[in-house]
């Protein structure tokens, strides 16, 4: 895909999303960003996009609500006139023991991490088809891609991210005839979550064959590679510094 003058929607505009937005803008893409609780970070990302000479917009969207996805996609199209790229990054990541989980905890992860990716893709696909094709990049997790859980306390998250892999494959088949390519990225140790101690960070580095955290740019590189390709679809690509082989 030639990126110049395309329009991308990124669900989630902080940390990794900010860097993805910056790199897309550097390649001539106008960027819409959604936020639920991170308005300041989304506005910061939008400012970076504008500084690169591209258009940007931010939209508040609670993607745990079933109608929010369609409204978000429509707001993007109304603002920019088209939609070519969807990057489903919105995620709920909470550790909680299995015995303490409630139906609400389950729904919080499934609705945002999995259902919202489906609903955003469902709303975006007709607009992409009208432009002759498009790209959808979902976000899974290196653990789900590896096919087995490793850390207790993340049952809804793990199930949702495993579901994203299945969703990616199914959508790739469904949308291939419309020239919409659908892939996923499964990040590993990219950036340390807030509150990570030095000892915890060092333990993850030691468990990663490359011996370091990847940094946000490695995810942006992966997104750009999937957007650039005209023949990769239905794939989930780990970007984890070899973490899954150790």
Mean pLDDT (the chain) is 96
Q: Which of 31, 9, 16 minimizes the C-alpha distance to 239?
A: 16
CA distance 89 to 30: 17
Structure tokens at 40: 């300041």
pLDDT tens string 88-107 = 999 999 999 999 999 999 99
Beta-carbon neighbour count of residue 1 at 10 Å?
16
Domain membership of residue 2 (yes or no) is: no
Contact call for residues 221 and 185 (beta carbons, < 8 A): no
CATH of the domain at 148: 3.40.50.720
Domain membership of residue 203 (yes or no) is: yes
What global pTM score does this model have? Answer: 0.96
> What's residue 60's pLDDT?
97
pLDDT higher than threshold 90 for residue 8? yes
Which member of 93, 151, 154, 157 is catalytic?
A: 157
Domain membership of residue 191 (yes or no) is: yes
pLDDT tens string 205-220 = 999 999 999 999 999 9
Domain membership of residue 1 (yes or no) is: no
> What's residue 7's pLDDT?
98
212-237 average pLDDT score: 98
Q: What percent of the chain has pLDDT over 90?
A: 95
Say how many domains are in the chain: 1
Report which of residues 14 and 86 the model is more confident about. Answer: 86
pLDDT higher than threshold 80 for residue 13? no
Structure tokens at 189: 């140790």
Contact call for residues 18 and 29 (beta carbons, < 8 A): no
* pLDDT-based confidence at residue 38 (cuts at 50, 70, 90): confident
Which residue segment(s) compose the domain that 101 sits in? 7-245
Order across the sheet with 134-139: list the strands: 56-60, 30-35, 7-11, 85-88, 134-139, 180-187, 236-239
Which three-class secondary structure state does DSSP give residue 17?
A: helix
Which residues, in sequence order, are bridge partners of residue 55? none
pLDDT higher than threshold 90 for residue 246? no
> What's residue 195's pLDDT?
85
Residue carrying the six token digits 């949702």: 160
Domain membership of residue 173 (yes or no) is: yes
Domain membership of residue 172 (yes or no) is: yes
Q: Is 157 labeled as catalytic in the residue annotation?
A: yes
Structure tokens at 223: 């997104």
Domain membership of residue 71 (yes or no) is: yes
Q: Residue 183 belongs to what H/E stretch?
A: strand 180-187
Domain membership of residue 89 (yes or no) is: yes
């Amino acid at each position: 895909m030639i990126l110049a003058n395309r329009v991308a929607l990124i669900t989630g505009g902080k940390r990794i999303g900010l860097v993805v937005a910056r790199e897309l803008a550097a390649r001539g893409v106008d960027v819409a960003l959604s936020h639920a609780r991170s308005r300041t970070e989304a506005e910061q990302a939008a400012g970076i996009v504008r500084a690169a000479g591209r258009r940007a917009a931010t939209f508040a969207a609670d993607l745990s609500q079933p109608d929010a996805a369609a409204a978000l996609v429509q707001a993007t199209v109304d603002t920019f006139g088209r939609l070519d790229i969807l990057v489903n990054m919105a995620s709920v990541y909470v550790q909680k023991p299995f015995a303490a989980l409630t139906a609400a905890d389950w729904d919080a992860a499934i609705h945002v991490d999995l259902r919202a990716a489906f609903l955003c893709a469902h709303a975006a696909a007709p607009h992409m088809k009208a432009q002759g094709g498009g790209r959808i990049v979902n976000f899974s997790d290196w653990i789900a891609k590896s096919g087995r859980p490793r850390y207790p306390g993340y049952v809804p998250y793990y199930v949702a991210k495993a579901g994203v892999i299945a969703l990616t494959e199914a959508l790739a088949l469904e949308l291939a005839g419309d020239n919409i390519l659908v892939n996923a990225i499964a990040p590993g140790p990219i950036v340390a979550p807030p509150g990570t101690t030095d000892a915890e960070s060092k333990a993850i580095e030691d468990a990663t064959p490359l011996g370091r955290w990847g940094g946000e740019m490695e995810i942006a590189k992966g997104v750009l590679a999937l957007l650039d390709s005209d023949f990769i679809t239905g794939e989930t690509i780990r970007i984890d510094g070899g973490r899954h082989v150790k």
